[in-house]
Each structure stands twice: as C-alpha cells, then as structure tokens.
Amino acid sequence: MFIRHFVAVSAATMGIAGAANAAIVTFNQTFTNTTTQARTYDVMQTISLAGAVLDPTMSGNVAAILIDMNGNGATLSSLGTTAIYTAMIQNTAVQTLLPGDWSFQVNPYMSDASTPASFSNMVLPTGSASGTMSIRLQFTLSAGDKVSFASNFVVQAVPAPGAVGLAALAGIGCRGRRRRA
C-alpha cells in the first residue's frame, strides 16, 4: 500500500466580511501507477486551523479524471466499503463521498471525468472545528494508468442572527443618511 501524507504548515483561516471565518483544504493531485499490478493509495492533505471555527457549516467536493495509459482500459475504485473521499476534523471523519463499492472505468486509450460528488452547507457534527482539518483519499488504480483528483473541504462559521440583523440595520441607517444629504 502506498501512503503519503501532505501537511500544509500555513494557517488556512481567513476573515470573511468581518463576521465569519472559513478554513479551506484543497487537494489537487495526479497519481500514476507505474507498476504491473493494481495499486492501493492512501493519501491525506492536512492543514492546521488558526483558531476554533464555532457553529460551522461544511461543504466539499471531489472529481476524478481517469486515463488509460497502456491500452487495456483503466479502473479507479474504492477500497471495499471505504469511501474514496473522507473529510476529517482532528482525524475524525465528518463526511464521505464516492462510497464503498464505487468504481469508474474507461476504455482502452481513453480518458474520462467522473461525475463530481459534493455536499454543501451541512452542519458540522462536532459543533466546532479546531486543531486540524483534512481530506483523505483512499483508492485502487489499475496497473499502468493515471488518475487526477480535484477536491476541497470548506468549514465556514455561520454568522449569529444578531450579527446579520446589525449589518442590516447599519445598511438601512446608511441608506437613510444618503437620502437626507
């Protein structure tokens, strides 16, 4: 089994409109199986959060492009009942995509893109995000073939209703001032 762990040292937390923050893991990688047998991969992209993200929602997606490089067709598949994409907070799975028993094939000397899989604006089951967040890809690739993945995982704080109301009142107040001027 091939295992690789990527770690991004820089914090990936940024302010959004001053009221919320978000953390984003992006994992775009190409894998080429240069062996004569199907190969299993287990790779992870991890970032450290600069602080806690409270009451967050989460979104993510994954898509793959599979290329047959040796003229006998190509297969990308999950590892038994394990999903290909796993979004994680503190090494605990919070969402999966491309479920177990999923596979995708292309004909000899062909390439094709899988149907993208995604989830959006789901409540984070842990209630808050702190420490690390990761995308883990686990899959099997047929011999002599290539796959490229594009994936991301976003955790974003939801502004409190009071903050949204305050912003609305500020906008109304500014609008009223413009009319009087």
Query: Cα–Cα distances in Å, from 46 out to 23, 125, 173?
Result: 11, 19, 43
Q: Into how many domains does the chain fold?
A: 1
Q: pTM of the predicted model, to two decimals?
A: 0.78
Q: How many CB atoms lie within 10 A of CB 4?
A: 12
Rounded CA separation 133/48 (Å): 7
* Domain membership of residue 107 as a residue range: 2-180
User: What is the Cα–Cα distance from 132 to 150, expressed in whole angstroms?
Assistant: 20
- Which residues, other chains included, contact 4 with Cβ-Cβ below 8 Å and sequence gap of 6+? 41, 42, 43, 44
Per-residue pLDDT of the chain (181 residues; tens, 9 = 90+): 545 544 433 233 333 333 347 889 999 999 999 999 999 999 999 998 877 777 889 999 999 999 999 999 999 999 999 999 999 999 999 999 999 999 999 999 999 999 999 999 999 887 778 889 999 999 999 999 999 999 999 998 876 554 444 445 445 554 554 555 5
